[in-house]
Structure 1
Amino acid sequence: MWFVFALLSAVFAAATSILAKVGIDGVNSNLATAVRTCVVLVMAWAMVFITHTQGGITSIGKKSWVFLILSGLATGASWLCYYKALQMGSASKVAPVDKLSVVITLILAVIFLHEDFTAKSAIGAALVTAGTILMVI
């Protein structure tokens, strides 16, 4: 089931790039990011209330709070940079570079989470990197 959600995530991320590129025309990239973030915030909290999970907020531990906040800051920085890049470049070049996050995630997961780094991982990372380079040159 995780694969279905991951695939849907990719589809929605692709739609995000195209919709954002059209929507950002003539709009400051920081303002556009703020508008998008408000929509995401409302949508996320709506899902919390729809699924009746709002009571779980009191059981979030200190460590989880710290890392969720750091993750939120990283997301915000990513979105600000992504929208600025979209404003300056073409979506067909910005999106592949953004997807280098797959390779960076693999490296960070090996270093910090001690996940396995296999020959398949190395080949996949090399192919993603090569594909990115081919798409942007």
Structure 2
Amino acid sequence: MWFVLALLSAVFAALTSILAKIGIENVNSHLATAVRTAVVLLLAWGMVFLTHAQSDIHAISPKSWLFLILSGLATGASWLCYYKALQIGQASKVVPVDKLSVVITLVLAFVFLHEQVTVKSAIGCILIGAGTLLMVL
């Protein structure tokens, strides 16, 4: 099931890029990011109330609060940079560079989460990096 959800995430991310590129034409990139964020916020809280998960908010530990807030700040910074890059660059070049996050995530997971680096994941990182370079040069 995780693979299907991850694949759907990739499809929606691809749609996000194309729809955003069309939508930010003649719109300040920060304003566009704020509009997008408001829609995401409404959707996320809608799912919380739809699934009756709102009562679980009291069970979130201080450590989880801290890291969720930091994650939110990183997401916001990513979106602000992404929308500005998408506004001034070609989607076919911006998106592959953005997807270097896969490589960076694997490195950070190795360093901070002590996840194993396998031969397959190392080769995958190299191929993603090389593929990105081929697409943007």
1:123 paired with 2:133, answer no
Deviation string 1:36-66 (CA, Å, 9 cap, x unpaired) is: 0000000000000011100000000000000
The alignment of Structure 1 onto Structure 2 pairs a total of residues equal to 137
Q: Which residue of 1 aligns with 2:10?
A: 10
Percent pairwise identity: 75
Q: TM-score with structure 1 length normalisation?
A: 0.99
Q: Which residue of 1 aligns with 2:21?
A: 21
Q: Where in structure 2 are the equivalents of 1:1-137 lying within 5 Å?
A: 1-137=1-137
* Cα displacement (A) at 1:98: 0.2
CA distance in 2, matches of 1:59, 1:79: 29
Q: TM-score with structure 2 length normalisation?
A: 0.99
Could you tell me which runs of 5 or more consecutive residues in structure 2 were left unpaired when the two chains were aligned. none
- Shift >6 Å, 4+ stretches: none
Deviation string 1:83-126 (CA, Å, 9 cap, x unpaired) is: 00001101111000000000000000000000001111110000
Could you tell me which runs of 5 or more consecutive residues in structure 1 were left unpaired when the two chains were aligned. none
Please tell me the root mean square deviation across aligned C-alpha atoms, in Å: 0.4
Give the aligned residue type for 1:98.
D
CA distance in 2, matches of 1:41, 1:112: 29
* Cα displacement (A) at 1:28: 0.4
CA distance in 2, matches of 1:93, 1:10: 17
Give the aligned residue type for 1:17.
S
